[in-house]
Structure 1
Amino acid sequence: MQPDIAAPGVNILASYTLRKSITGLKGDTQFSEFTLMSGTSMSCPHVAGVAAYVKSFHPDWTPAAIRSAIITTAKPMSKRVDKEAELAFGAGQVNPTKAVNPGLVYDMDDLGYIQFLCHEGYNGSALSVLVGHPINCTSLVPGLGHDAINYPTIQFNVKKDKETTLGVFRRRVTNVGSAPTIFNATITAPKGVEITVKPTSLVFSKTMQTRSFKVVVKAKTMPSMNVVSGSLVWRSPRYIVRSPIVVYSP
């Protein structure tokens, strides 16, 4: 699901030093020591700063773990902000303070991304160029679940030629908080969509312990360009770990 997150980005100013003339036109000798730009894209360095902030507390965390922490601790946003909902603003508004201590993370190594790309139809030669060594998708163990990726969000595409579309998503989370602890699942499902999770409780006896679960999404056919939102929240006495579930019809 893209984007992952929303961050401050409207009328944000960014300053940079020019390496060429102000207009870039031939013969223009006007130079400025600094120039300013503004726009929504300026949220990118904000999120990069948040990632660096989280990594300063957890230098051994993978990029996937850091991304997960940022996503699952975001402040939820309303569909009133944008009718495309999570497909417009992701998991919600970034919260750097909470991202430092997320409770659970959806982690992944390089193989996880390769399995996902193979599942999406990329061939070995294209992936070999990307990762820098030979890849043979047919020899890899397939990624688990409907989307073959251990991601902190779930998106589900409803098939137009079926009355009901079913998807099974397999996920695993690592306890990066206190232990022992128990996380209980809370599901919010939109109208016309049935969402279940098994098991409904995850028990951790120690930190850095990993537990697996599956999410089953069953959705009825819906009008084209329609987006409905649900969520899976893992709660413990100390943590709230939220994953958006987006169901849409192209």
Structure 2
Amino acid sequence: MKQPDIVAPGIDILASYTPLQSLTGLKGDTQYSDFTLMSGTSMACPHVAGVAAYVKSFHPTWTPAAIKSAIMTSATPMSSRVNRDAEFGYGAGQLNPRKAVNPGLIYDMDEMSYIQFLCHEGYKESSIAVLMAEKSVNCSALLPQLGVDAINYPTMQLHMKSDQEPTVGVFQRTVTNVGTPQSIYNATIKAPKGVEITVKPASLTFSPAVQKRSFKVIVKAKPMASGQMISGSLIWRSSRYIVKSPIVVYSPQED
């Protein structure tokens, strides 16, 4: 999603503080401390980075996308009663380092996936080439990604196209089994009022370890008021794992 992907502690964090500078940095301030309490989203960043490094220590060959997926799909769900912006305020939920190490399934991506996504979003080929350190990028020559968002991401977001007609979005996803070799995952769908969510297939069977399975999620939403956002979820469950993906449907605020 375009909003926060994950939530981490960021309020009243006891943080190290350089004794070489005063607490305020203002001239005449003689207050110094080795530690101080600090708050804000910036204090959440070190926690997320630390958890990513923690997961990487267990899985040194995992890509950044795989690590991010593990952190997001294993997060502890939060409620819109805590933040009325819901997923746009807290993403997939509050990170859980212990579960992130063993997520069961991951949504992985390689470099080409990001290039295809940027092409799909309409970025100039020259701009993409600079970002990817490539001499040239030819979007028309790339195999098109299926699905409305053209990316293998742990979350799904449907942008309403009309306030008069239903909007339908098809999301193509592929998961890799990094858990129990012999396992079956069944889909559990939570759809808000006015939204139909279908998953095909509704069951994924894995035999050997590190095996991939693809599926598609069809989201059909009735027209909604400008600025409204509602959310549901897709949860893949096995006898051992719970892999959750938020699904958000929203109608942009009219100017």
If the TM-score is normalised by the length of the shorter chain, which range does it land in? over 0.9
Deviation at 1:160, TM superposition (A): 3.0
What does residue 139 of structure 2 align with? 137
**Which residue, out of 190, 196, 199, partners 2:198?**
196
**Which residue, out of 169, 172, 185, partners 1:170?**
172
SS in 2 for 1:185: strand
Conservation of the 8 A alpha-carbon contact between 2:165 and 2:222:
yes
Amino acid paired to 2:239: P
List runs of 5+ in structure 1 lacking aligned partners: none
Cα gap change, 1:114 to 1:16, in 2 (>3 Å): farther
SS in 1 for 2:79: coil
Amino acid paired to 2:234: L
Kindly report which structure 2 residues correspond to 1:38-57, keeping only aligned pairs within 5 A, or say none. 38-41=38-41, 42-57=43-58
**Inter-partner Cα distance in structure 1 for 2:162 and 2:12:** 40
Amino acid paired to 1:96: P
Q: TM-score, normalised by structure 1?
A: 0.93
Amino acid paired to 2:205: V
**Inter-partner Cα distance in structure 1 for 2:67 and 2:140:** 30
SS in 1 for 2:70: helix
Identity between Structure 1 and Structure 2 (%): 65
SS in 1 for 2:179: coil
What does residue 239 of structure 1 align with? 241
Deviation at 1:135, TM superposition (A): 1.4
**Inter-partner Cα distance in structure 2 for 1:213 and 1:154:** 13
List runs of 5+ in structure 2 lacking aligned partners: none
Deviation at 1:20, TM superposition (A): 7.0
Cα gap change, 1:22 to 1:13, in 2 (>3 Å): closer
Kindly report which structure 2 residues correspond to 1:171-186, keeping only aligned pairs within 5 A, or say none. 171-186=173-188
What does residue 108 of structure 1 align with? 109
Conservation of the 8 A alpha-carbon contact between 1:165 and 1:221:
yes
Deviation at 1:227, TM superposition (A): 1.3
Cα gap change, 1:19 to 1:144, in 2 (>3 Å): farther
Cα gap change, 1:185 to 1:28, in 2 (>3 Å): same
What does residue 155 of structure 2 align with? 153
**Inter-partner Cα distance in structure 2 for 1:243 and 1:101:** 16
SS in 1 for 2:119: helix
**Inter-partner Cα distance in structure 2 for 1:59 and 1:208:** 15
Conservation of the 8 A alpha-carbon contact between 2:188 and 2:235:
yes
Amino acid paired to 1:145: G
| Aligned residue pair count | 249
Cα gap change, 1:13 to 1:33, in 2 (>3 Å): closer
**Inter-partner Cα distance in structure 2 for 1:65 and 1:18:** 38
